[in-house]
Chain A
């Protein structure tokens, strides 16, 4: 892999410039109470775009379903580490119009970690809390929620792509704020770490939300597809205090939409082996040529 791999194309650089010129206008209007740092976000994005484009080769489908309004974006959670969240956030900055910073909800565990809590807050994450979400929606921001929580990413290999039951909080917030829910699914993230065992008891004993054990030190370059579904409109007859039974019915519909999108996405999935083989063979050929020269 040569150093060019880590460079952005001129098109991507121009796109990032354009996106952040627009976003600065929004974020200069009000100071973010969690410490979102737009300069750090831009700097980090420039470093991550090559990984997004060349390593994970992310494709985005369903951009036409996104309008210029705040959404609660709801996704399946896969891949042991929240890399899927990072890739979705980049997609909403670069490949979806109008671009926006998706504010990802994180667990309390993450928010209280030294260094990590501050860094994730600077990059736009916030603690998953109803008041926080409502504040953001009031300020015209979109939120990224993984309603499966840690259960979503802490799956053993045989359970890959099985969608766990969704929590209800996001739906009640959507009802309160009359904000449409945008269902989304990520295909390919489970294969980043193909062999995983979850040491659940050990994780509990040392106070971690999950402890995936894998022989891999880095995620494999599994090709990622992000599918965005049609917005789920909020039913008029429900309110945030509606009984659990009525809310669950809608949660079930949203879960099923995500499951259906996963089923369709799995059929169109790019072969994982090619993804690993092609860059490796390119690298070997290049190295051989270099030696010949």
Chain B
């Protein structure tokens, strides 16, 4: 029996995770077709049989044309700008893309009969707070933007998606994933850069716990979300966690011992000597933000990850 052909749209194909996901899908289903788009350059996207990568501006017109020209069975929305700058112009641009853009994409998915939408959010939306409970469930309040307005778009995008998801649950299956820190040789996020930097601030006054997931495991979860995960919001993390100092030791990053409580005030100076970290990340270097994984395990099983936290950390050294 021949397999049903499917057409998948991946928004944000310029990212390492989207490319691993494309390979996974096309390895399993060589007859499927993937259209990958990104507002960034796609010159670094490798040539993969079945993947058609295009660079385009994320505008209403372009998205409408895209959905008119193709009949997608599933859409992956991995196209969020990195939330690493507090600059006002960047913030407006990000809100336009993450919040307004997401809304348009979801409406287009609904109108054109897409059956599955998978959205990549992040655990950062919970915020790193001194009074965080241990293992935050999906129902925990999203407090990240209380202290850091630069995370507003990330929180709002998640909220828009979840509201939309429940409103249209009978017509379209939507999965919102909130993964812990995704790390790997192909990922270029703030956390990976921080962990590998020889100038990483090594807190002497705090030692919070972290959860990490390897990029391959995250891509596998995105892939399995197509048919194994029903409509809903899911935290993504393994069972294990490590303290920041243990994590840095494991990678072999000595870093610069530093009292993090001073970093808030000194970030300007630290920026000049290239030791700065995004302001929102400073809180994660002080307080733990561990997430609960019971919900996703009910659909993907107890052992849904291939790499342990220690293996994931050791593997980022391969980059």
Contact = CB atoms under 8 A, between A and B. Distances in A.
Contact of A117 (B206, B241, B243): B206
B206 A118 contact: yes
Interface in A161-189: none
A131 B261 contact: no
Contacts of B206: 114, 117-118
A238 B204 CA distance: 46
Given A33-B241, A112-B287, A118 B133 contact: no
A108 B259 contact: no
Contacts, number: 49
A129 B207 CA distance: 20
A112 B130 contact: yes
B259 A114 contact: yes
B302 interface: no
A33 B290 contact: yes
A33 B207 contact: no
Interface residues of B, number: 20
Contacts of B131: 108, 111-112, 127, 129
A197 interface: no
Interface in B232-246: 240-241, 243
A34 B134 contact: yes
A33 B130 contact: no
Given A33-B134, A33-B241, A129-B133, A118 B209 contact: no
A189 to B, nearest CB: 27
A35 B206 CA distance: 11
B205 interface: yes
A283 interface: no
A233 B134 CA distance: 27
A115 interface: yes
Contacts of B259: 114
- Per DSSP, chain A at the interface is mixed
B100 to A, nearest CB: 35
Contacts of B287: 112
Contacts of A35: 207, 209, 243
Contacts of A33: 134-135, 209, 241, 288, 290
Contacts of B205: 114-115, 118
A10 B290 CA distance: 42
Contact of B207 (A118, A127, A130, A135): A118
Interface string B128-144: 00110111000000000
Interface string B248-267: 00000000000111000000
A132 interface: yes
A289 interface: no
A61 B288 CA distance: 38
A31 B134 CA distance: 13
B130 A131 contact: no
Nearest to B209: A33
A218 B44 CA distance: 65
Contacts of A135: 134-135
B136 to A, nearest CB: 8
16 contacts: A33-B288, A33-B290, A108-B130, A112-B130, A112-B286, A114-B206, A114-B259, A114-B260, A117-B130, A118-B206, A127-B131, A127-B133, A129-B131, A129-B133, A131-B133, A135-B135
Nearest 4 pairs of A and B residues by beta carbon? A112-B130, A114-B205, A131-B133, A114-B261
Given A33-B288, A130-B133, A132-B133, 15 more contacts: A31-B241, A33-B134, A33-B241, A34-B288, A108-B131, A112-B130, A112-B287, A114-B205, A117-B206, A118-B206, A127-B130, A127-B131, A131-B134, A131-B135, A132-B134
